[in-house]
Amino acid sequence: MTKLRTEGLTKRFMGLVAVNDVSFSMEEGEILGIIGPNGAGKTTFINLVSGIAMPSAGRIEYKGRDITYAPAHERARMGIARTYQLIHPLENLTLLENVMVGSIFARGNGLKEARRKAEALCLELGLADLERETTRLTILEIKKMEIARALANEPEVLFLDEVMAGLNADETKDLIATVRRVAKERRLAVGVVEHVMGVIRELTHRVIVLEAGELIASGPYEEVSKNPRVVEAYLGGAAVHA
Ligand SMILES: Nc1ncnc2c1ncn2[C@@H]1O[C@H](COP(=O)(O)OP(=O)(O)O)[C@@H](O)[C@H]1O
Ligand SMILES: [Mg+2]
């Protein structure tokens, strides 16, 4: 079942076209990689789909419903969640409270229900000592907290914007397994932005490649990584096989 679909999605900032005529779709249970050099429009694309930014042209559909101009909080309530490239833990809140925020805002849960849900999610993601302040967490724990907060929305579609950045090899492995498990159990459609191609290769069923706002290729990683246009887009930047 198609969860999310865009058609001709475009975002202009003054003279710059950050996202240019992008049509794509994401299926239930699918983990989709979104790759492309720095400045390709990946974060902007997620902003458009999650309602943080409004498109200049094009259309966005969620489960067949037009949400092109729906406000962000409405999309969150419908089941579209995301994490942010620049993580923003609420520093005077505890780990648990940071996760509770997700279900209080998006789901309108009361405190008690939000707490119960947040505790269950933390347990599921392997987070302990939930009364710690976020300044005491490791990077891996912060990343998991961000994912737990997004999951507290009870999403059907989840975007992860460079969640693996800053992790070492073991932590990356841990987070790949975690993402795969939570996605599978919930039949989530997941959009993963990552620069480390090993992560994309291991985690995703399919990738789309953005370059200067345009979707230049789409398909399984093994196929797309051999596409001459994709290889060229990465020349001088991160090598596709790095
Ligand atoms: N709010 C904004 N105002 C102006 N330009 C922006 C804004 N957000 C992003 N851009 C520009 O849009 C392009 C795509 O950025 P971004 O979506 O962050 O790329 P990526 O996530 O792929 O690195 C870049 O050239 C960036 O400078
Ligand atoms: Mg980005």
Ligand 1 proximity of 92 Cβ (cutoff 6 Å): no
What is 2-234's CATH topology?
Rossmann fold (3.40.50)
Q: Which residues are registered as beta bridge partners of 24?
A: 6
Exposure of 182 in the CB half-sphere (CA atoms within 13 A): 26
- 109-137 confidence digits (pLDDT tens): 788 999 999 999 999 999 999 999 999 99
pTM above 0.75, yes or no: yes
pLDDT at 235: 60
40 lines ligand 1 (CB under 6 A): yes
DSSP designation for 94:
B
Residue whose tokens read 């092109």: 68
- What phi, psi does 125 have (nearest 5°)? -90, 0
Low-confidence ranges of the chain (pLDDT < 50): 239-242
What per-residue confidence (pLDDT) applies to 88? 73
Query: Is residue 7 within 8 Å of residue 59, measured between CB atoms?
Result: yes
Distance 213 CA to ligand 2 centre (A): 12
> Which atom in ligand 1 lies closest to the alpha carbon of residue 45?
17
Protein residue with least CA distance to atom 4, ligand 1: 13
Instruction: Give the helix/strand (H/E) hosting 174.
Output: helix 169-186
The pLDDT score that the predictor gives to residue 105 is 74
At 135, list the tokens: 């300044």
Task: Find the 203 Cα to ligand 2 centroid distance in Å.
Answer: 19
pLDDT of residue 233: 82
Rounded Cα gap, residues 63 and 109, in angstroms: 24
Instruction: Quote the tokens at residue 145.
Output: 């907290």
Per-residue pLDDT, 240: 47
Task: Please give the distance of CA 209 from its chain centroid, rounded to a whole number.
Answer: 15
36 lines ligand 1 (CB under 6 A): yes
**Can you give the pLDDT at residue 101?**
87
Phi, then psi, of 89 in degrees rounded to 5 = -60, 145
Q: What is the pLDDT of residues 184-226, one digit of tens each?
A: 999 999 999 999 999 999 999 999 999 999 999 999 999 999 9
Domain ranges of the chain: 2-234
